[in-house]
Amino acid sequence: MQPTAVLACGGSNRHRLWLRLQADIYNRPILPAANPEATARGAALLAGVGVGHFTGFDEAVRAVPAPASAILPDPAAAEGYERAYQSFKQLYPALKAIQK
């Protein structure tokens, strides 16, 4: 199974450059959570399910706002990262042997 997008949450959402790098490296759209404190909100939603505030996870998920606009990968940058990754995969066994 290959993901079609990455949902980003937490403090790194505030840094557009970091989101852009992730989109290019993963070659997938990055969907920043609308709420910068999405991790805490997720914990609160789980607690809400636990205490019966929500009838279940489906209802809790519907209470979450849609992600902010997607950060799309730059195809040229993504291709460069893929080439670098393929080189790394070829070199890694030799580098690992040197480190022992």
In a domain, 97, yes or no: no
Query: Which position has the token pair 């990055």?
Result: 30
CB 65 within 8 Å of CB 37: no
What's the CA gap between 80 and 86, in Å, rounded? 10
Query: Which band of pLDDT confidence, cut at 50, 70 and 90, is reported for residue 96?
Result: confident
pLDDT in tens, 29-83: 999 988 777 788 889 999 999 999 999 999 998 888 887 799 999 999 999 999 9
pTM: 0.71
User: Domain for residue 39, yes or no?
Assistant: yes
- Would you say residue 20 lies in a domain? yes
CB 41 within 8 A of CB 64: yes
How many domains are contained in the chain? 1
